[in-house]
Amino acid sequence: MNFGFTEEQELLRAEVRKFLDARCPLEQVRALMESERGYSPELWASLAELGWLGLTIPEAHGGAGLGWVDFVVLLEETGRTLFPSPLVSTTLAAAAILDAGSDEQKARWLPGIADGSRVGTLALLEANDVLAPSGIALLGKPDGDAFLLTGKKHFVADAGAANLFVVAFRSGAGAEDLSLAVLDGGAPGVSVKSGPTMDQTKRMGTLALDGARVPKSALLGEAGRAWPAIAKLFDRGAIATTGEIIGAAEGALALTVQYAKDRIQFGNPIGKYQGVKHPLAEMYVDVESTKSLLYYAAWALDESPGEVPRSASLAKAFASDAFARIGIDGVQLHGAVGYTAEYDIQLYLKRSKWARPAYGDSDFHYERVATLGGL
């Protein structure tokens, strides 16, 4: 019985924290928010060198061969400082190839992801924003032994940065007749349109497909049988998002605790008053409990696949609501300065708004928990 991290994992955490504190403190995050690209190619290259882009990719394909518990350690730290980069999107794209791709496909794409030359992302959702087979309407038109895709995929994370898209589409009339394929960002008929976002550290856009060709060699798994793989990607996405939530929630709590110690009113630091200290204690309770739920879900991904759906949903549901409260309370406890652009707490509030719907909000996941529990 050991529900804790290994020495290597603690070392990884320390290394990532040191790197981010030195190379991408919040002033640098703010500069990247203002940039058109939204992230730093130099830092991206450093992540590749440090082995973090290929953290979960097997060594045979140029990665570090670690698991999702390790990845969660990395994400807690990138979340803590709101580090802007397509790290999560790229790791999810790699997971799609690892989960459903052939050995040949893995050899073809994974080394490029691990070395930083490929920025990947998932293009699963459509305008209806539904995380279920019924949400996927984009039709693949058979064309010899290929499919032609015409339509749009919405809410694609880091769409502007990506050059490798994992696209879900419908390949037949059956309810779950779905397929998954890798599309090159530079292929004919593939274009991206990004819009301004509330949380500028998290970019998003629409993938437009106009007769984009999916050859058989780009299909991940068999045509028409991709739903289980897509469902697993939703779970991975929920777990990765929760990883970033935890880091950011702890970051917001730390900022607010410090403010409560520094700010003097009525002759005392405001953190002396129970009206301030109790909401901070509640934040701590939420952070601790989310951590437990998340670590277990990540462990299940690595070691106990049957437990993934329930544990991923419990973690993301609890985290979505908790972080939403923490974002609001964090700003409120700062008083008027919390509302200013100058103070950092508002950046965490915006991150909480991004995190809530990503890979399912609490209503979605609690409903799933109810169903899994036999209701």
Residue 266 half-sphere exposure, CB side, CA atoms within 13 Å?
Answer: 4
272 binds other proteins (CB under 8 A): yes
DSSP string of 310-346, one letter each residue: HHHHHHHHHHHHHHHHHHHHHHHHHGGGGGSSSSTHH
255 is a site residue for other proteins (CB under 8 A): no
State the CB neighbour count (10 A cutoff) for residue 68.
23
Using the structure block, give the residue that is written with the tokens 């769409």.
Answer: 159
Exposed, middle or buried by CB within 10 Å (0-12, 13-18, 19+), for 106? middle
Which phi-psi region, left, alpha or beta, contains residue 32 (left: φ > 0; alpha: ψ -120 to 50)? Answer: alpha
* Window of 50-58, 151-159, 336-344, 364-372 that interacts with other proteins by CB under 8 A: 364-372
Pick the closer one to other proteins by CB: 336 or 375: 375
Selected range binding other proteins among 95-103, 240-248, 332-340, 362-370, rule: CB under 8 A: 362-370
**288 sits near other proteins (criterion: CB under 8 A):** yes
Alpha helices in 64-181 (DSSP H): 68-80, 87-100, 103-114
For other proteins, which residue of 111, 133, 151, 269 counts as binding (CB under 8 A)? 269
Comparison of 294 and 347: residue with beta carbon closer to other proteins: 294
Query: Rg of the chain's alpha carbons, rounded to an integer?
Result: 21
Among 263, 284, 325, 332, binds other proteins (CB under 8 A): 284
99: closest CA among 230, 268, 202?
230
Q: Which of 145, 292, 337, 340 binds other proteins (CB under 8 A)?
A: 292
Which span sits near other proteins by CB under 8 A: 113-121, 184-192, 193-201, 286-294? Answer: 286-294
Question: How many residues bind to other proteins according to rule CB under 8 A?
Answer: 44
Query: Residue 190 has which token pair?
Result: 């593939």
Report the residue from 138, 248, 260, 312 that binds other proteins according to the rule CB under 8 A: 260
Work out how close the CB of 277 gets to other proteins at its nearest, in angstroms, rounded to a whole number.
4
Contact flag: residue 249 with other proteins (CB under 8 A): no
Give the CA count within 13 Å in the CB-facing half-sphere of 188.
4
* Choice between 9 and 28, CB closer to other proteins: 9
- Least Å from the CB of residue 208 to other proteins: 35
**Using rule CB under 8 A, residue 357 touches other proteins:** no
Which span (57-65, 170-178, 265-273, 327-335) binds other proteins, by CB under 8 A? 265-273
Residue 237: half-sphere exposure toward Cβ, Cα within 13 Å: 26
Judged by beta carbon, residue 43 or residue 317, the one nearer other proteins is 317
Is residue 296 a contact residue for other proteins (CB under 8 A)? yes
Q: How far is CA 233 from the centre of its chain?
A: 11
Bridge partner list, 152: 208
Identify the residue among 2, 27, 144, 336 touching other proteins (CB under 8 A): 2
Closer to other proteins by CB, 191 or 292: give it.
Answer: 292
30 contacts other proteins (rule: CB under 8 A): no
How far lies 102's CA from each of 67, 149, 223, in Å?
Answer: 20, 22, 13
Residue with tokens 């690209």: 37
The footprint of other proteins (CB under 8 A) covers 1-5, 69, 257, 260-261, 268-269, 271-272, 274, 276-278, 280-282, 284-285, 288-293, 295-296, 299, 303, 314, 317-318, 363, 365-367, 369-370, 373-375
